[in-house]
Amino acid sequence: MKVLITEEQRTQLLSNGHARAAGEDIDPRPVVRMFTPDAHATWLLAALDPADCDTAYGLIDLGIGMPDLGTVKLSELTAIVGPRKQPIERDLYFVATRTLSEYTRLAQRNGSIID
């Protein structure tokens, strides 16, 4: 199975996931950006569910003009390929400049994740 996130990213995602599971009102910056190189899908992930360590929470943009907050399983992302059979990749240079709610507000206004 392809590894989509680093151990450092997993640690930060789980930390945010523990806070969410505890009911804390948090608005973290996304930790990792995933994308399809041959399509227009993007995932900005901010938390990982500590119960299964597989369900990630973040902003999901499937390239159809309706980005929204939701969950996705990392194990399922590893199986997704675009129209030219290219797998999902992690943006090696992504550094979040906004909180998740700010990215969401802008993406919903623009119809896609920007930045």
Average pLDDT score, the chain: 93
Whole-number pLDDT of residue 98: 97
Torsion of Cα atoms, 65 then 28 then 17 then 5, to 10°: 70
What's CA 11's distance to the chain center, in Å? 15
The segments of the chain whose pLDDT lies below 50 read: 1
Angle, alpha carbons 17-21-22 (nearest 5°): 115
Whole-number pLDDT of residue 4: 87
Whole-number pLDDT of residue 2: 62
Whole-number pLDDT of residue 60: 97
Whole-number pLDDT of residue 81: 83
